[in-house]
Copies of this chain bind each other. A is one copy, B any other.
Amino acid sequence: MIYVTYDEAVAAMARGLARCMDEERAKRFAEVFAGNSMDGVYSHGMNRYPRYIRTIESGMCDASVLEIEKVSGVGALEVWDAKNGIGPLMADQAAERAIELAKAHGIGCAALRNNSHWLRAGRFALKMAQAGLCGICFTNTCQNLAPWGSMTKAIGNNPIAMAIPAAKGPLLMDMAVSQYAYGKMEVMAKQGKVLDVPCGYDKNGKETCDPREIVDGGVMTPMAMWKGNALSIMLDLMAAMFSGGKTCLDLGADAAKEQGMSQIFIAVHPAAVHDMEEIEARMQKTLDFLHGLEVMDGMPGVRAPGENLEKTRARHAQEGIPVARDTWEQICRAADA
Protein backbone atom coordinates (compact mmCIF):
# COMPACT_ATOMS: atom_id res chain seq x y z
CA MET A 1 0.00 0.00 0.00
CA ILE A 2 1.28 3.45 -0.84
CA TYR A 3 -0.24 6.88 -0.18
CA VAL A 4 -0.94 9.53 -2.81
CA THR A 5 -2.54 12.94 -2.62
CA TYR A 6 -5.94 13.56 -4.17
CA ASP A 7 -4.41 15.97 -6.70
CA GLU A 8 -1.66 13.53 -7.69
CA ALA A 9 -4.24 10.80 -8.14
CA VAL A 10 -6.55 12.95 -10.26
CA ALA A 11 -3.68 14.22 -12.43
CA ALA A 12 -2.27 10.75 -13.11
CA MET A 13 -5.64 9.14 -13.87
CA ALA A 14 -6.79 12.08 -16.01
CA ARG A 15 -3.66 11.75 -18.16
CA GLY A 16 -4.42 8.09 -18.86
CA LEU A 17 -8.10 8.72 -19.49
CA ALA A 18 -7.36 11.60 -21.88
CA ARG A 19 -6.31 8.98 -24.42
CA CYS A 20 -9.99 7.90 -24.59
CA MET A 21 -11.87 11.16 -24.11
CA ASP A 22 -11.52 14.94 -24.01
CA GLU A 23 -9.47 16.44 -21.16
CA GLU A 24 -12.37 18.00 -19.33
CA ARG A 25 -14.24 14.68 -19.05
CA ALA A 26 -11.03 12.80 -18.33
CA LYS A 27 -10.49 15.07 -15.35
CA ARG A 28 -14.06 14.66 -14.11
CA PHE A 29 -13.88 10.87 -14.42
CA ALA A 30 -10.52 10.84 -12.62
CA GLU A 31 -12.13 12.86 -9.84
CA VAL A 32 -14.77 10.15 -9.40
CA PHE A 33 -12.17 7.40 -8.86
CA ALA A 34 -10.09 9.60 -6.56
CA GLY A 35 -13.15 10.96 -4.75
CA ASN A 36 -14.52 7.51 -3.96
CA SER A 37 -11.15 6.46 -2.52
CA MET A 38 -10.90 9.80 -0.68
CA ASP A 39 -14.26 8.97 0.95
CA GLY A 40 -12.87 5.61 2.10
CA VAL A 41 -14.75 3.52 -0.46
CA TYR A 42 -11.54 1.87 -1.69
CA SER A 43 -13.46 -1.05 -3.22
CA HIS A 44 -15.05 1.32 -5.77
CA GLY A 45 -12.35 3.90 -6.17
CA MET A 46 -8.91 3.95 -7.74
CA ASN A 47 -8.63 0.15 -7.68
CA ARG A 48 -11.32 0.03 -10.38
CA TYR A 49 -9.38 2.31 -12.72
CA PRO A 50 -7.35 -0.33 -14.61
CA ARG A 51 -10.46 -2.44 -15.15
CA TYR A 52 -12.48 0.55 -16.36
CA ILE A 53 -9.78 1.48 -18.86
CA ARG A 54 -10.04 -2.05 -20.25
CA THR A 55 -13.83 -1.72 -20.44
CA ILE A 56 -13.44 1.43 -22.53
CA GLU A 57 -10.68 -0.02 -24.71
CA SER A 58 -12.74 -3.13 -25.41
CA GLY A 59 -15.60 -0.93 -26.63
CA MET A 60 -18.05 -2.16 -24.01
CA CYS A 61 -18.17 1.32 -22.52
CA ASP A 62 -18.51 4.04 -25.16
CA ALA A 63 -16.48 7.07 -24.06
CA SER A 64 -17.77 9.12 -26.99
CA VAL A 65 -21.24 9.47 -25.45
CA LEU A 66 -21.51 12.99 -24.06
CA GLU A 67 -25.02 13.06 -22.68
CA ILE A 68 -27.80 10.81 -21.51
CA GLU A 69 -30.77 10.83 -23.87
CA LYS A 70 -34.36 11.24 -22.80
CA VAL A 71 -36.59 8.28 -23.69
CA SER A 72 -39.89 9.34 -22.13
CA GLY A 73 -41.30 11.14 -19.13
CA VAL A 74 -44.38 12.40 -17.40
CA GLY A 75 -44.28 15.00 -14.64
CA ALA A 76 -41.77 13.92 -12.02
CA LEU A 77 -40.78 10.58 -13.58
CA GLU A 78 -38.39 10.46 -16.51
CA VAL A 79 -36.66 7.66 -18.37
CA TRP A 80 -33.19 8.22 -19.79
CA ASP A 81 -30.77 6.16 -21.86
CA ALA A 82 -27.04 6.23 -21.01
CA LYS A 83 -26.13 4.51 -24.29
CA ASN A 84 -23.31 2.66 -22.48
CA GLY A 85 -21.42 5.89 -21.85
CA ILE A 86 -19.01 6.51 -18.99
CA GLY A 87 -20.96 5.15 -16.02
CA PRO A 88 -20.40 7.69 -13.26
CA LEU A 89 -20.59 10.69 -15.62
CA MET A 90 -23.87 9.48 -17.10
CA ALA A 91 -25.18 8.73 -13.61
CA ASP A 92 -24.16 12.22 -12.45
CA GLN A 93 -26.41 13.66 -15.16
CA ALA A 94 -29.32 11.45 -14.13
CA ALA A 95 -28.85 12.38 -10.46
CA GLU A 96 -28.86 16.06 -11.39
CA ARG A 97 -32.02 15.55 -13.40
CA ALA A 98 -33.68 13.86 -10.39
CA ILE A 99 -32.71 16.87 -8.27
CA GLU A 100 -34.29 19.24 -10.81
CA LEU A 101 -37.45 17.14 -10.93
CA ALA A 102 -37.67 17.05 -7.11
CA LYS A 103 -37.17 20.80 -6.91
CA ALA A 104 -40.06 21.27 -9.35
CA HIS A 105 -42.38 18.53 -8.02
CA GLY A 106 -41.29 17.83 -4.41
CA ILE A 107 -40.14 14.33 -5.43
CA GLY A 108 -38.51 13.24 -8.67
CA CYS A 109 -37.23 10.07 -10.28
CA ALA A 110 -34.80 9.71 -13.15
CA ALA A 111 -34.62 6.10 -14.34
CA LEU A 112 -31.53 5.37 -16.40
CA ARG A 113 -31.06 2.36 -18.66
CA ASN A 114 -28.03 0.97 -20.49
CA ASN A 115 -25.39 2.50 -18.28
CA SER A 116 -21.89 1.29 -17.56
CA HIS A 117 -20.79 0.63 -13.98
CA TRP A 118 -21.44 3.71 -11.86
CA LEU A 119 -18.69 2.63 -9.43
CA ARG A 120 -20.31 3.74 -6.15
CA ALA A 121 -24.02 4.13 -5.44
CA GLY A 122 -23.35 6.54 -2.59
CA ARG A 123 -21.88 9.19 -4.87
CA PHE A 124 -25.25 10.00 -6.38
CA ALA A 125 -27.31 9.97 -3.19
CA LEU A 126 -24.62 12.17 -1.63
CA LYS A 127 -24.92 14.60 -4.54
CA MET A 128 -28.62 14.95 -3.71
CA ALA A 129 -27.94 15.52 -0.01
CA GLN A 130 -25.32 18.12 -0.86
CA ALA A 131 -28.06 19.92 -2.80
CA GLY A 132 -30.27 19.83 0.30
CA LEU A 133 -32.44 16.89 -0.81
CA CYS A 134 -32.80 13.32 0.35
CA GLY A 135 -31.67 10.69 -2.11
CA ILE A 136 -32.48 7.06 -2.79
CA CYS A 137 -30.41 5.44 -5.56
CA PHE A 138 -30.12 1.81 -6.59
CA THR A 139 -28.83 -0.25 -9.49
CA ASN A 140 -28.82 -3.83 -10.59
CA THR A 141 -25.64 -5.80 -11.32
CA CYS A 142 -24.70 -8.95 -13.17
CA GLN A 143 -25.57 -12.30 -11.58
CA ASN A 144 -22.96 -12.62 -8.87
CA LEU A 145 -24.80 -14.06 -5.87
CA ALA A 146 -26.55 -17.34 -5.21
CA PRO A 147 -30.12 -16.96 -4.00
CA TRP A 148 -30.96 -18.45 -0.61
CA GLY A 149 -30.98 -22.22 -1.12
CA SER A 150 -29.36 -22.55 -4.54
CA MET A 151 -25.75 -22.89 -5.69
CA THR A 152 -26.25 -20.96 -8.96
CA LYS A 153 -25.06 -17.39 -9.38
CA ALA A 154 -28.48 -16.07 -10.29
CA ILE A 155 -29.15 -12.75 -8.55
CA GLY A 156 -27.26 -9.48 -8.23
CA ASN A 157 -25.33 -7.89 -5.41
CA ASN A 158 -27.46 -4.82 -6.06
CA PRO A 159 -26.53 -1.78 -3.99
CA ILE A 160 -28.93 0.79 -2.60
CA ALA A 161 -27.81 4.14 -1.25
CA MET A 162 -29.79 6.59 0.87
CA ALA A 163 -28.64 10.06 1.87
CA ILE A 164 -30.09 12.74 4.14
CA PRO A 165 -28.83 16.33 4.34
CA ALA A 166 -27.81 17.30 7.87
CA ALA A 167 -26.29 20.35 9.51
CA LYS A 168 -22.93 18.68 10.23
CA GLY A 169 -22.66 16.91 6.88
CA PRO A 170 -24.93 14.45 5.08
CA LEU A 171 -25.86 11.03 6.40
CA LEU A 172 -25.15 8.33 3.85
CA MET A 173 -25.92 4.63 3.75
CA ASP A 174 -24.45 2.77 0.79
CA MET A 175 -24.98 -0.95 0.94
CA ALA A 176 -25.03 -3.86 -1.44
CA VAL A 177 -27.05 -6.92 -0.46
CA SER A 178 -24.10 -9.12 0.50
CA GLN A 179 -22.67 -8.88 4.02
CA TYR A 180 -19.17 -8.20 2.63
CA ALA A 181 -17.96 -6.99 -0.74
CA TYR A 182 -16.41 -9.86 -2.70
CA GLY A 183 -13.05 -8.07 -2.71
CA LYS A 184 -13.17 -7.75 1.07
CA MET A 185 -13.93 -11.46 1.33
CA GLU A 186 -10.93 -12.30 -0.89
CA VAL A 187 -8.72 -10.24 1.43
CA MET A 188 -10.14 -11.99 4.50
CA ALA A 189 -9.56 -15.37 2.84
CA LYS A 190 -5.89 -14.51 2.30
CA GLN A 191 -5.60 -13.38 5.91
CA GLY A 192 -7.14 -16.65 7.14
CA LYS A 193 -9.94 -14.80 8.90
CA VAL A 194 -13.30 -16.29 9.81
CA LEU A 195 -16.53 -14.44 8.94
CA ASP A 196 -18.95 -13.37 11.70
CA VAL A 197 -21.83 -15.16 10.00
CA PRO A 198 -22.15 -17.56 7.05
CA CYS A 199 -21.80 -15.48 3.88
CA GLY A 200 -21.96 -18.15 1.23
CA TYR A 201 -21.85 -21.82 0.29
CA ASP A 202 -18.73 -23.93 -0.16
CA LYS A 203 -18.31 -25.99 -3.33
CA ASN A 204 -20.48 -28.72 -1.85
CA GLY A 205 -23.36 -26.37 -1.07
CA LYS A 206 -22.68 -26.21 2.67
CA GLU A 207 -23.10 -22.84 4.37
CA THR A 208 -19.78 -21.56 5.58
CA CYS A 209 -18.12 -18.82 7.62
CA ASP A 210 -14.74 -19.58 6.02
CA PRO A 211 -14.10 -17.07 3.23
CA ARG A 212 -11.54 -19.43 1.64
CA GLU A 213 -14.29 -21.99 1.04
CA ILE A 214 -16.46 -19.34 -0.61
CA VAL A 215 -13.72 -17.92 -2.82
CA ASP A 216 -12.46 -21.40 -3.77
CA GLY A 217 -15.30 -22.85 -5.87
CA GLY A 218 -18.08 -21.71 -3.58
CA VAL A 219 -20.49 -18.83 -4.00
CA MET A 220 -21.55 -15.75 -2.02
CA THR A 221 -25.09 -15.43 -0.71
CA PRO A 222 -27.03 -12.29 0.24
CA MET A 223 -26.86 -10.85 3.75
CA ALA A 224 -29.46 -11.93 6.27
CA MET A 225 -30.45 -15.02 4.29
CA TRP A 226 -33.98 -14.68 2.84
CA LYS A 227 -34.08 -10.96 3.57
CA GLY A 228 -31.10 -9.91 1.45
CA ASN A 229 -32.34 -12.37 -1.16
CA ALA A 230 -35.73 -10.63 -1.34
CA LEU A 231 -34.14 -7.18 -1.41
CA SER A 232 -31.85 -8.17 -4.29
CA ILE A 233 -34.74 -9.40 -6.44
CA MET A 234 -36.97 -6.38 -5.74
CA LEU A 235 -34.24 -3.81 -6.46
CA ASP A 236 -33.38 -5.57 -9.72
CA LEU A 237 -36.94 -5.78 -10.98
CA MET A 238 -37.84 -2.24 -9.92
CA ALA A 239 -34.71 -0.87 -11.61
CA ALA A 240 -35.57 -2.71 -14.82
CA MET A 241 -39.24 -1.74 -14.66
CA PHE A 242 -38.73 1.96 -13.92
CA SER A 243 -36.07 2.34 -16.61
CA GLY A 244 -37.38 -0.14 -19.15
CA GLY A 245 -33.82 -1.48 -19.12
CA LYS A 246 -32.03 -4.74 -18.51
CA THR A 247 -32.67 -7.10 -15.61
CA CYS A 248 -29.93 -8.89 -13.70
CA LEU A 249 -30.71 -11.97 -15.79
CA ASP A 250 -30.19 -9.94 -18.99
CA LEU A 251 -26.83 -8.73 -17.62
CA GLY A 252 -25.69 -12.33 -17.26
CA ALA A 253 -23.28 -14.14 -14.97
CA ASP A 254 -19.97 -13.11 -16.57
CA ALA A 255 -18.65 -10.23 -14.43
CA ALA A 256 -16.16 -9.30 -17.15
CA LYS A 257 -19.08 -8.58 -19.49
CA GLU A 258 -21.23 -6.68 -16.99
CA GLN A 259 -22.59 -3.80 -19.04
CA GLY A 260 -25.82 -1.85 -19.54
CA MET A 261 -27.19 -1.65 -16.02
CA SER A 262 -30.52 -0.15 -14.96
CA GLN A 263 -30.04 2.63 -12.39
CA ILE A 264 -32.62 4.57 -10.41
CA PHE A 265 -32.29 8.07 -8.94
CA ILE A 266 -35.04 9.26 -6.60
CA ALA A 267 -34.74 12.67 -4.93
CA VAL A 268 -37.09 14.09 -2.31
CA HIS A 269 -37.19 17.77 -1.37
CA PRO A 270 -38.45 18.08 2.22
CA ALA A 271 -37.60 21.79 2.33
CA ALA A 272 -40.35 22.35 -0.23
CA VAL A 273 -43.00 21.29 2.28
CA HIS A 274 -41.45 21.94 5.70
CA ASP A 275 -39.74 24.54 7.81
CA MET A 276 -36.50 22.57 8.11
CA GLU A 277 -35.14 24.16 11.24
CA GLU A 278 -37.27 22.17 13.66
CA ILE A 279 -36.83 18.96 11.64
CA GLU A 280 -33.06 19.30 11.57
CA ALA A 281 -33.01 19.96 15.31
CA ARG A 282 -35.04 16.80 15.90
CA MET A 283 -32.66 14.82 13.71
CA GLN A 284 -29.64 16.22 15.54
CA LYS A 285 -31.26 15.12 18.81
CA THR A 286 -31.29 11.55 17.51
CA LEU A 287 -27.66 11.75 16.41
CA ASP A 288 -26.56 13.17 19.78
CA PHE A 289 -28.52 10.44 21.56
CA LEU A 290 -26.84 7.69 19.49
CA HIS A 291 -23.39 9.18 20.10
CA GLY A 292 -24.02 9.14 23.84
CA LEU A 293 -24.87 5.44 24.02
CA GLU A 294 -22.65 3.20 26.07
CA VAL A 295 -21.00 0.57 23.88
CA MET A 296 -19.55 -2.84 24.58
CA ASP A 297 -15.81 -3.32 25.01
CA GLY A 298 -13.96 -3.22 21.73
CA MET A 299 -16.85 -1.73 19.76
CA PRO A 300 -16.65 1.73 18.24
CA GLY A 301 -19.24 4.29 19.35
CA VAL A 302 -22.66 4.20 17.69
CA ARG A 303 -22.84 6.45 14.64
CA ALA A 304 -25.42 7.06 11.96
CA PRO A 305 -24.19 5.94 8.54
CA GLY A 306 -21.93 8.49 6.86
CA GLU A 307 -21.06 10.37 10.02
CA ASN A 308 -17.40 9.39 9.70
CA LEU A 309 -17.13 10.70 6.16
CA GLU A 310 -15.59 14.08 7.03
CA LYS A 311 -13.10 12.41 9.38
CA THR A 312 -12.06 9.94 6.68
CA ARG A 313 -11.59 12.74 4.16
CA ALA A 314 -9.55 14.78 6.63
CA ARG A 315 -7.31 11.79 7.36
CA HIS A 316 -6.74 11.18 3.66
CA ALA A 317 -6.06 14.89 3.09
CA GLN A 318 -3.36 14.71 5.74
CA GLU A 319 -1.88 11.23 5.20
CA GLY A 320 -2.72 10.70 1.54
CA ILE A 321 -5.12 8.19 0.02
CA PRO A 322 -4.06 4.54 0.34
CA VAL A 323 -3.81 2.64 -2.93
CA ALA A 324 -2.36 -0.78 -3.72
CA ARG A 325 1.13 -0.46 -5.16
CA ASP A 326 0.33 -2.45 -8.31
CA THR A 327 -2.81 -0.38 -8.94
CA TRP A 328 -0.80 2.83 -8.66
CA GLU A 329 1.83 1.42 -11.02
CA GLN A 330 -0.88 0.62 -13.56
CA ILE A 331 -2.28 4.14 -13.20
CA CYS A 332 1.18 5.64 -13.78
CA ARG A 333 1.87 3.38 -16.76
CA ALA A 334 -1.46 4.39 -18.34
CA ALA A 335 -0.59 8.04 -17.70
CA ASP A 336 2.78 7.73 -19.43
CA ALA A 337 1.62 5.57 -22.32
For residue A167, CB closer than 8 A to chain B, the reply is no
Residue from B74, B106, B150, B237 within 8 A of A77 (CB atoms)? B106
The CA-CA distance from A237 to B284 in the complex, in Å, is 10
Which partner residue on chain B sits nearest A164 by CB separation? Answer: B237
Using a CB–CB distance below 8 Å, which chain A residues touch chain B? 71-79, 102, 104-109, 111, 134, 147-152, 154-155, 162, 164, 171, 173, 175, 179, 196-198, 201, 205, 223-225, 227-228, 230-231, 233-234, 236-238, 240-242, 244, 247-250, 266, 268-270, 272-274, 278-279, 282-283, 285-286, 289-290, 293-296, 299-302, 304-305
The CA-CA distance from A228 to B164 in the complex, in Å, is 17
Are A286 and B173 in contact, CB atoms less than 8 angstroms apart? no
- A interface SS class: mixed
Which partner residue on chain B sits nearest A241 by CB separation? Answer: B270
Residue from B150, B231, B293 within 8 A of A302 (CB atoms)? B150
Residues from chain B with a CB closer than 8 A to the CB of A162 are 234, 238
> Would you give 14 A-B contacts (Cβ < 8 Å), ordered by A?
A75-B107, A76-B76, A77-B268, A149-B300, A150-B293, A150-B296, A155-B290, A173-B230, A179-B227, A224-B224, A224-B228, A233-B290, A234-B304, A237-B286
Nearest-Cβ distance from residue A114 to partner chain B, whole angstroms: 14
Given A242-B270, A302-B154, A76 and B107 contact (CB-CB distance below 8 Å): yes
Given A105-B75, A109-B107, A173-B234, A241 and B279 contact (CB-CB distance below 8 Å): yes
The CA-CA distance from A225 to B179 in the complex, in Å, is 9
Copies of this chain, whole number = 2
Residues from chain B with a CB closer than 8 A to the CB of A76 are 75-76, 105-108
The CA-CA distance from A106 to B78 in the complex, in Å, is 8
The CA-CA distance from A107 to B107 in the complex, in Å, is 7
Known: A111-B273, A164-B234. 11 other contacts (CB 8 A): A72-B274, A77-B102, A107-B109, A148-B299, A149-B301, A154-B293, A155-B290, A171-B234, A175-B227, A197-B224, A248-B286
Which partner residue on chain B sits nearest A108 by CB separation? Answer: B107
The CA-CA distance from A313 to B74 in the complex, in Å, is 36
Residue from B104, B150, B282 within 8 A of A294 (CB atoms)? B150
